[in-house]
Each structure stands twice: as C-alpha cells, then as structure tokens.
Structure 1
Amino acid sequence: MDPKNLADYPDRVAQIFLDRTLLITGGTGFVGKVFLEKLLRSCPGIKKIYLFIRTKKDKEPNERIKEMFNGPLFQLLKKQRGEEILKKVEAISANMEAPDLALSNFDRKKITEEVEMIYHCAATIRFDESLRKAVFLNTRGTKLMLELAKECKNLIVFAHLSTAYCHLHERVLYEKAYPPPSSPHHVIKACEWLDEEVLDTITDKILGDIPNTYAFTKALGESLVNDEMDNLPTIILRPSVIIPIWKEPLPGWTDNINGPMGLLIGAGKGVIRTMYCKGESYADYIPVDIVANCLICTTFIYLQSKLVMIMQDRFRKFLIDIFSSKRIFNLTSSAEYKVSFDEIIKIGRDVVSNKIPLNGVLWYPGGSMKKWRWHHNVEFFLFQLVPAVFLDALLIVLGYKPILMRVQKRVSKGYEVFEYYANNQWDFNNDDSMKLRQMLNPKERAIYKLDGEGINYHDYFTDCVRAARLYILKEGDETIPSARRHMRLMRFVDLVCKIVLLIGFLYLLYKYLL
C-alpha cells in the first residue's frame, strides 16, 4: 500500500478509546510507562486515565507521576500533543501488595463508577523475590483487581498482562488456558496465615519443579483471570522477554538493565567474560513498544468482536473463529524471527567495542558462550573472580571501598536465572495473535506496529547501548571519544595479556616435555 494513501484510512483503534476512562496498574513500570505514553500520543481522545501508584521512598503518588512525566520518554508526547494532555492522567494512591489495594472509599467509588477499561500490568518481575511478596503482588493483587473489576458499572475490558514463561512445563505454549501449578486461593491463604520465616523454609516444596517465585505466581494470577472469563470481559496477553523500545518514542530506551540488557552492559564493561549456554540456542524477545501496541490493538479487536452480529457473514465467521473459545494471546516473535545467543554476542561485542564503547571499562569486551559447565566455571574463576579480588585489594590499598566482588556476586546470582532459561528451549504458537494483524487497515498497522518486519538487529542494539549509556549509566555522548581511546588501550592490554599467557603456557609445556 502506498504510504501516501494512508490518510485515506480511518484510525478505528483511536476511535475505540474516544471519551473512555481507563485504569492502569503498573503505570510507573517499564511496560506501563511505554503503554501510557503511546495511549496519550496516538489516542488523544481518551477522557481520563487513572494510575494506581503507591508511595515509594517518601515520594507521594503525585510527586512520582510528575517526576515520570519529566523523563525523556514523554518529551515527544509533550512536543506533539502539548503538556495539557498530561492533565488527563490522575494518580490514585493504591498498593497492590496491601489488603483491598489500600484504596480509600472515595477512590474506590470513583473507580467503580467511572472506569470502563482496566489494564492490569503491575507485578514484581524479580526472580528471587520472596514467596510471600510475589504472591501478594502477582497473585493476590490480581485477585483483588478482579474483585474491583466486578464492581465497575461500565466495564467493557479487563486486560491482564501475564508472561509467556509462566507455564514452563509446556515446551510449546499455545494460546489457550493451562491449569495452575497449585490452587491460587490456597496459596494466597497460606501466605496470609504463615510467618515469612516459615514460608521461606517451605518455598522450594511449594514451588515444586518451577524454578522461581515469578513464574509460579504469574501462573497462579493468570489462572484467576481465566476463571473469570465467563463473568468479566477479560483478555490475557502473554509477552515473552520484554526488551527496550525498537521504534518509538525513543529508540533503545529502557528504565532498567534487567535481562538481556544487563548481560550486554556487563559484557561491555568487561565484568562478564563467560556464560554457560549453547550459542546456537535462542530466546524469544519482544520490544516493549510492540507490547504496548498489542495491549491497545487487542482491546480494539475484542470490542469489535461484540459487533459480530451486525457484520457481513464472512467477517462474522472470521471473528467467531478467533473469539469463540479463547481470548488469550501470546505476544512472541520466534515464530517469525530467531536470533541465536551467538548472534547477539557477536553484534553486541561489535557495538560496545567499536561503535559506542562504555566508560570505565575494566577489560576489553570479549569472552564467549561455553557449552560445558566446567569450561565456564574455570573461566569464571580465572577471568572474573581473580581479577575482582585483585582490583578490590588495589582499591582498599588506595583507600576506596571494594566493589568488584560485590558485582561478581550479583553476576553469579544472575547466572542462575540466565542458565535455566538459556539452556532450556521453549517455542510459542501465536497464530491467533498473528490473525489480529489482518483486522487492521494499513494506517492502523503503521501507527500500531505489531510485528518485527524491517528490524535491523545491529541498529537496534546500537540504539539500546546508546540509550542505556545515556539514561541508565548517565554517560553523556560527549564522553564517547574518550571512551573510544580507553577501549583502544584496553584492546592493546588484552592483546599483551594473551601473548604473556601464551608464552607462559608454552614455557610450562617446554619444561614439562623436558
């Protein structure tokens, strides 16, 4: 379709949100921020957006929302729509971890009378979270949101953001409901009744073969939503590993260095030199801006499905085929695009070594994936632990606090999570989600991009490193020239070290043979 003709098409997606009142949980989180920005920028006819926000670090909800809007993510929105658009957003004091969400009677009444669409994105994504906290946030919090949704007089959509990695026993995950690993109601009661110390001692037994509290509690939360599908207008969305923004509003932007970005930054700093993983394996990734677009478009599709009876027969049958049995969508990419760990390492190494090096690099970026654990353990000891001990000792002598061993302990902890997911392979069937794209006209597909067509991985990782450098590490672009000079020096030092090690090895071999 000629882009010049896009103006001839309507934006029916934006029209769905016209004069609507929304409630978003997790609006200050990674996905929530991008989702909120996209809604305001592309669907400016929204009447009101309420955000559940808790007091954090002595900052009240209104203070936190003001600070968020002053961040770089919202600059394009303010430029295109003006700062007046931000007045559509109102913070409501709430706590997903607390009984009854810690809502005041006044706020609860306002929500139940005004809200038409609920987007439940709040969750703890820490894999090492205590069972009690993970259950209260991811499971009981979802239960309480469903109870609130039942009180809403004008509710037309309840969208729950789950995860594609909450049914780990399924090597191929289909867009259907799966039984929970335990009764969510029983687990909630146990966490309410038992002391945290007792819970900690029996957590492994409760989890069974599930490796962490995140996957366990997200599976429980999803089952609660699925149980209410006959009673509430629910949609379940399962994104895979969510990574930084691909296209808009700020390419490469993220507010954290969890997951793949943490590994990339750690490798770029020379802190991570080895990982136990089969390089030809792959994980499933989805940029956060595509997740935001999916949240918006599945709402449109779901509401369109309610108009089935007044549409043409063929179109009606198509909608019935999608919505007759399920409203669960896997937001995944590996059915279309697969990027191996080796490819990611190769691209990432080129970016941080040659294009956008980081400041304070301890060692020239190198290392590799190891297929054998013993090989990884040897290199971890020689090239991560030993240098960390040496540099920490040097820091102590110079009067500074040691930090490298603390960093390596965090890296080691991160390895435990990474190795489980990297050395197990899952695939995802997202046929229904791909059908959704057929429901959008060319203009809508351009505004709310749902696929990875046209992605250049090298450019994408370059944007990610640049954004992480600027917004997470606070390393301005003006420091790039000096970082490149330092990188050239580290490359020379790395080469000298390799030569010295080679000579030492040859010398020992010579002495042994003699």
Structure 2
Amino acid sequence: MSPITEFYTGKTVLVTGATGYMGKVLLEKLVRSFPDIKKIYILIRSKKGCTPQERVKQLTNGIIFTFHNVNEKAYDKIEAISGDFMMENLNLSEIDKEKLIEEVSIVFHVAASIRMNLPLKEAVITNTTSTYQLFKLCMNMKILQAFVHVSTAFCNVEIDYMEEKIYPMDVDPYKIMDLVKWMDEKSLVAITKKLLGPHPNTYTFTKRLTELIAKDMGDKIPIIITRPSIVMPSLREPIAGWVDSFNGPVSLFYAFGKGILRIGLIDDKSVPQMIPVDVAINTLIVSGYERATNVYSPSVLNVTIGNVTTPTWSDYFTRCEDYNWEHPFKLVLWYPKVTYTKSYYLYMIHMILFHIIPALVIDFIMIIFLQKPFLTAIQKRLLQTFNVLQHFTLNKWSFDNTNCIQLNEKLDDNDKKMFPMLAHLQGIEFENYNINNCKTSAKYLFKEHSENYSIYKLRNKILYLLDLLIKLCFIYVVLRWVLGKYF
C-alpha cells in the first residue's frame, strides 16, 4: 500500500463543489483510488425539486462514474450534506454540523462560481463569504488534518511573475463582505470598478480576497492553498480528453471546429497557462496528504505548467484545425479556420462583417421558413466570451511552481504512478493531447459517433472553395466601386 493510499484509508472527507467539473473528477478519483476511505460527505443543496440525496444519485449515475467499472457499493460511501453557500451559516442543520465537526479529517473546498461577469454582491457571497463561513465551521472540527482550498493562479493579475505566496491587497476582505450586506445593488455597481482595481472581473477579485482570509486563518486551521491555472480536459483520467462543459477556452476550440468562430482576440504567440483537470486533481489529493503529514508543508502551490511545456495559442488552434479537417463534425456552419488579432478594433470590424451580419441574415431566412433562429444568439455568446477572456488571451504571465515540483519529487514510485503531477508533463505528447480532447468532446459533448468522414471532408472542401469565391467577388465589387471608370 502506498503512503498516500494508507493515509486516506479510514478517513472521512468533505468535498464542496462536487457537482462541478473539477468536483466530479475529484470525487471519482477519491472513490476509485481509495477503496478503503471511510466516508465522503459532499455539501450540496436541493435543486429543481430534487433533494440532496437524489442529486447524489444523479451525480453518481453520470458517465464519468462508469468508465472504470467501480463497484457500485463504493458509491454508498458518498453521503449528501444539505447546505447552501448563498445562505447564512451555509444553511446547515445542527445535526449535519455536528456530524462534520466530529468526523471530518480532510476538507477539499472546490466550490466557487467561475462566472467572471457575476455582480459583485453575488460573487463576494459565493466565493468569499461562504468560504469564510466554512473556515469558521472547520475551526471546530475535532480531528481536522488538512483544508485544501482551491483558488486560481490568476488571483494576482497585476503581477507578471507570480510566486507561491499570498500577496497583500489594498482592500480589507472583511469590510468588503460587510459592504455587500448592506449596500444596495445600484450603489455597488457604481463602485465595483474602483473596488476591483487591477482585477478584470469579480472572480479573480473575490478569489484574492479569500486568500487573504485564508492567511488569517492559517494559525487556526491546517490550510493549504492550491492555485490551478486554466483547467482543461484531462490528460489521462478518468479517460484521456474528458470534459463535460463548454466553459472557458473549451468553447472557443469547439466553436472553431464547428466553423462558427472565424476571428480570435488572441495573442497567438503567447503561451496559455492551461492545466489538465486530472493533473490539478492529483495535486489537490497529494496536497491534502502533505499538509496533514508535514508540519512544514508549503502554504501555497501554483498548479501551473510553469516552464514545463510551451504550446502557444496558435499551436492549440493549429492542432485542432488539422484534426477537424481529418475528422470533421457532422454538422458545421463553415469549414474550420480562424485568424488572430491583438487589436480590439480589428476584431470588432471582423466580428461585425463576418460574424454578426451573416448571423442576422441566416436567422432572418430561418424565420421566413418558420424555423427557430439560433446563430445570432451563438455569436452574441462568443462576443461575450471574448470580452470576458481577453485579459487572459492577450496578456502574458509566468509562474513559479517550485513547491508543486518538489512535492511530486517527494512521492514514492507507486504514488507517482497513481497521482501524476507536474513533473509528468515533461513527456506530454502535445499533439496526442489535443487529438484526445477533440475526439472525446465530439463523443460526449456533441454526441457525434460517425466514422464516415469522407463525405464531410468533401463538404468542407466545397465550403472552402465557396469561401474563396465569395471573397474574390467581394474584392471585385469593392474594386469596381472604387475604380469604377477603369472596369
């Protein structure tokens, strides 16, 4: 038995955010890798008429929990604790609160709203106040050995080189939590930009506030802060390329594959700080073990690629383009091709001419034929996505991830195989990683299983020639208009 497996044997764990992307991967990994774990409590609220217990059943019936044929009885160890992060004291009953205080040894706090355009009040309550309330609960836990808090590598956006430490801030997190309680929404909106300072959105702002509170709690709770960068589809587990949502850059890659995205507000030469979800989850699990067994464990880990591998934005899109030409989607709007610009004005001109206007025309035709319009809404969502992500697609950061690398080096050979972390990315085959991402998403996100690609490849070639013809006609019309007397 490996040291980490032995450590988690007989332990009771609390997981927040278990219904989210990272939370599902964490839950599946805990159940599969630690068959002798005692209990996994997940904090979950009622939703759409389903009780927390019913939601647990729905969760464990999901595809992610079927890949490895784990004994169904293993999932009996997962137990719902009814709670709500938007409510005072997490809306926990006294019985559940006492249960957690008496039994929990390890807490994985993954829950957060990753929506970057949330109003300040909602973001503070969801990401900061709720974590503070969880901290206060954990202060009473009798056998707590580790609290693994999931932050973000981008919580200090004004710093070009981010070390593994907590940076000071000009605002007081406790005053911000108090402010959103009594100030009306209109006044909050008016002062939000000033409060955010260098932060491009309320997500990174509230994550940084939470880190400051975690620092204050450091002498009361055994906290370790993990900072994943942009979480992407899995490298290996639960299967290669696993993803279950269109969040963040994932939506851009697949809008591109469908021919919907033609222009990107991106510095194509910069390196996107992306981390496979299973690498991030393995780091969380190892961090819990390290914090519990080593009093001198690091307090912060930047879970980033660092200088390990350096594919650029252009590399990602090029590999996706190559794959989508060879394995085209069944349903596309146009052939896969994207151009890049760092100029917001050029981006908007291109969006209006080649995205929004064609979308309006196509939707108008759909309405005439009594069909439901859809393309304008998709283009609006793409525009919103770039408005949110442009700070991360245009700027460059570098990260110190020494603590993560040293933590991996300390593991014995068995644990290195079971919980591969950053050092194992040294040998990553970037092209294979991208292919697995495209292949798995096509199957599980788009539900496309076709292997008959020849007709779709022919369709894409026809679309390419049609695109070329339209551009030549456009150039001809412009030249005729400008130089009419010479034609």
TM-score, structure 1 normalization: 0.90
Q: Match for residue 66 of structure 2?
A: 75
Q: How does 1:231-270 map to 2 (within 5 A)?
A: 231-270=220-259
Q: Match for residue 177 of structure 2?
A: 188
Contact 2:28 2:65 in 1 (8 A): yes
> Using a 3 Å threshold, how does the CA distance of structure 1 residues 362 and 94 change in structure 2: closer, same or farther?
same
Q: How does 1:236-385 map to 2 (within 5 A)?
A: 236-306=225-295, 323=297, 326-355=298-327, 357-385=328-356
Q: Match for residue 206 of structure 1?
A: 195
Structure 1 SS opposite 2:115: coil
Q: Does 1:159 pair with 2:148?
A: yes
Q: How does 1:442-461 map to 2 (within 5 A)?
A: 442-451=413-422, 452-461=425-434
| Matching residue within 27, 30, 39 for 2:30 | 39
* Separation of aligned partners in 2, 1:228 and 1:199: 28
| Matching residue within 46, 49, 60 for 1:58 | 49
Q: One-letter code of the match for 2:384?
A: K
490-499 or 343-352: bigger deviation? 490-499
Q: Match for residue 309 of structure 1?
A: none
Contact 2:222 2:292 in 1 (8 A): no
Shift of 1:99: 0.5
CA deviation vs aligned residue, 1:43-89 (integer Å, no higher than 9, x gap): 21110000001112222212222112112111134x1x311100111
| Matching residue within 355, 368, 381 for 1:410 | 381
Q: Match for residue 391 of structure 1?
A: 362
Q: Does 1:18 pair with 2:40?
A: no
* Separation of aligned partners in 2, 1:453 and 1:364: 34
Contact 1:179 1:223 in 2 (8 A): yes
399-408 or 281-290: bigger deviation? 399-408
Q: One-letter code of the match for 1:493?
A: L
CA deviation vs aligned residue, 1:92-126 (integer Å, no higher than 9, x gap): 11111110001011110111011111111100000
497-506 or 81-90: bigger deviation? 497-506
122-131 or 249-258: bigger deviation? 249-258
Structure 2 SS opposite 1:405: helix
Shift of 1:458: 2.2
462-471 or 209-218: bigger deviation? 462-471
* Separation of aligned partners in 2, 1:328 and 1:290: 16
* Separation of aligned partners in 2, 1:129 and 1:239: 20
Q: Match for residue 316 of structure 1?
A: none
RMSD, aligned CA: 1.9
* Separation of aligned partners in 1, 2:143 and 2:306: 38
| Matching residue within 495, 504, 508 for 2:468 | 495
CA deviation vs aligned residue, 1:335-380 (integer Å, no higher than 9, x gap): 211211111121111122222x223311111121113333322221
Q: Does 1:430 pair with 2:430?
A: no
Contact 2:7 2:289 in 1 (8 A): yes
Shift of 1:40: 1.1
Structure 2 SS opposite 1:151: coil
* Separation of aligned partners in 1, 2:238 and 2:455: 29
Structure 2 SS opposite 1:229: helix
Contact 2:306 2:400 in 1 (8 A): no
Contact 1:27 1:51 in 2 (8 A): yes
* Separation of aligned partners in 2, 1:333 and 1:242: 11
Q: One-letter code of the match for 2:178?
A: K
Gaps of 5+ in 2: none
Shift of 1:181: 4.6
Q: One-letter code of the match for 1:229?
A: G
* Separation of aligned partners in 2, 1:455 and 1:72: 26
CA deviation vs aligned residue, 1:301-353 (integer Å, no higher than 9, x gap): 223324xxxxxxxxxxxxx5xx3xx4110000032112111111211111222
Shift of 1:502: 4.6
Shift of 1:202: 2.5
* Separation of aligned partners in 2, 1:258 and 1:512: 52
Shift of 1:503: 4.3
> Using a 3 Å threshold, how does the CA distance of structure 1 residues 456 and 508 change in structure 2: closer, same or farther?
farther
Contact 2:8 2:34 in 1 (8 A): yes
> Using a 3 Å threshold, how does the CA distance of structure 1 residues 63 and 265 change in structure 2: closer, same or farther?
same
Contact 2:304 2:401 in 1 (8 A): yes
Structure 2 SS opposite 1:334: coil
* Separation of aligned partners in 2, 1:232 and 1:12: 23
Structure 2 SS opposite 1:275: strand
> Using a 3 Å threshold, how does the CA distance of structure 1 residues 508 and 289 change in structure 2: closer, same or farther?
same
Contact 1:181 1:220 in 2 (8 A): no
Q: Match for residue 129 of structure 1?
A: 118
Shift of 1:484: 4.1
Gaps of 5+ in 1: 1-9, 307-319
Q: Does 1:171 pair with 2:160?
A: yes
* Separation of aligned partners in 1, 2:344 and 2:38: 56
Structure 2 SS opposite 1:86: helix
> Using a 3 Å threshold, how does the CA distance of structure 1 residues 512 and 210 change in structure 2: closer, same or farther?
farther
* Separation of aligned partners in 2, 1:128 and 1:391: 29
Structure 1 SS opposite 2:415: helix
* Separation of aligned partners in 2, 1:265 and 1:510: 41
250-259 or 460-469: bigger deviation? 460-469
Structure 1 SS opposite 2:139: helix
> Using a 3 Å threshold, how does the CA distance of structure 1 residues 438 and 194 change in structure 2: closer, same or farther?
same
Q: One-letter code of the match for 2:442?
A: R
Q: Match for residue 112 of structure 1?
A: 101
Shift of 1:507: 4.8
> Using a 3 Å threshold, how does the CA distance of structure 1 residues 152 and 415 change in structure 2: closer, same or farther?
same
Q: Match for residue 217 of structure 1?
A: 206
* Separation of aligned partners in 1, 2:152 and 2:272: 14
* Separation of aligned partners in 1, 2:306 and 2:105: 34
* Separation of aligned partners in 1, 2:193 and 2:32: 45
How many corresponding residue pairs? Answer: 485
Structure 1 SS opposite 2:218: coil
TM-score, structure 2 normalization: 0.95
* Separation of aligned partners in 2, 1:301 and 1:202: 41
Q: One-letter code of the match for 2:3?
A: R
Shift of 1:478: 6.0
